[in-house]
Amino acid sequence: MDLKGFYVADAHRYDEAEVMFHRCGNSGILLPKISLGFWHNFGGADPYERSRAITHYAFDHGIVHFDLANNYGPPYGSAEETMGRLMDDDFHPYRDELFISTKAGYDMWEGPYGNWGSRKYLMASLDQSLKRMHLDYVDLFYSHRYDPYTPLEETLQALVDVVKSGKALYVGISRWPLEALKYADRYLRERDVPLLIYQGRLNLLDRGPQEDGVLDYCSEHGIGFISFSPLAQGLLSDRYLDGIPSGSRMEKEKSLKRSDLSPERFAYLLRLNNRAIERHETLAEMALAWVLNQKGITSVLVGVSSVGQLSMNLKAIHAAPFEVQL
């Protein structure tokens, strides 16, 4: 379609719903196996028409979950502002088909009330997020990280209250340690605001949620699990198979360090890529398929800078299960 015109969603966007969606824990919510993350590529410095093209393609192919946070950009807040423009320009008629999440927990503004997990920060941040996204409510609001300085009861009661105020329909937590997760699960259930989902980093290079018991706990207690960075910020793609590209995150030492591509890891990536070739898949497809095949996984969050990348990632929903034997 002409991006300068009115957006009309593809009439066949749910044709593959049976293979596209997973139930989120024991809830009534179904989430797409592939969800779209706004961490990178949707900020104020990124081309808006590219953001439109990516989100149109996503929604036209059943990706109804858009994942944001207050400080995604850069600059902080600008990814949510992009979401607000998208709502105004394209997605307002489809609001009830979208599942939009945002988060608060990392640094957002100066001073003692713009970080961590206090009630004051979480409440103020959500109000700001709703204004930036031009929304009356979000479908899901996360505590973005565990706060060792604030009583858990304060953070969790804030989550309860945002649901009861109608500003969020569900709540989640991200990157909380296992014992804090268990406490949060009990606290929220007792107040009739069950924990919908846990967001953690899980991929072929980082299996922390499996090793520390978080994924098993979520699976056994009806809590969904969504993996961020399932491609390890591009390491589990073909981007670094020939070394460090000019202009890449690793070359700029932004979120990826040169030390992340040690000789041992590089050799492991080559072995994984050879296995993917044998499966007639890209390394990224196979890596996503591995995450999706793990017990308790609801969805994976992908970040893309083009429609082509998203199209390739979507192939993972049809990929055969894959277990590592290397």
Chain segment 246-268, per-residue pLDDT in tens: 666 665 656 776 777 788 888 99
The listed CATH number (1.50.40.10, 3.10.20.740, 3.40.50.150, 3.20.20.100) that belongs to domain 28-238+294-318: 3.20.20.100
pLDDT for the residue 320: 87
pLDDT for the residue 321: 84
CA nearest 56: which of 122, 10, 24?
10
Give every residue of the chain whose pLDDT is below 70, as ranges.
Answer: 1-5, 245-254, 257, 325-326
pLDDT for the residue 168: 99
* Surface-to-core class of residue 2, CB atoms within 10 Å of its CB (0-12 exposed, 13-18 middle, 19+ buried): exposed
Distance CA 190, CA 279 (A): 47
The DSSP output letter for 271 is: H
pLDDT for the residue 323: 79
Distance CA 86, CA 134 (A): 9
Domain spans, the chain: 28-238+294-318
Strand ranges for the chain from DSSP E: 21-23, 30-32, 34-37, 65-67, 99-104, 138-143, 168-174, 195-201, 224-228, 299-302
**151: cis peptide before it, omega within 30°?**
no
pLDDT for the residue 1: 44
Q: What are the tens digits of pLDDT across the range 68-90?
A: 999 999 999 999 999 999 999 99
CA gyration radius, the chain: 19
pLDDT for the residue 247: 66
Using DSSP's 3-state secondary structure scheme, residue 229 falls into: coil
pLDDT for the residue 324: 74
Cβ–Cβ under 8 Å, residues 263 and 72: no
Torsion from C-alpha of 320, 323, 325, 326, nearest 10 degrees: 80
Distance CA 134, CA 122 (A): 18
Cβ–Cβ under 8 Å, residues 73 and 40: no
pLDDT for the residue 4: 52
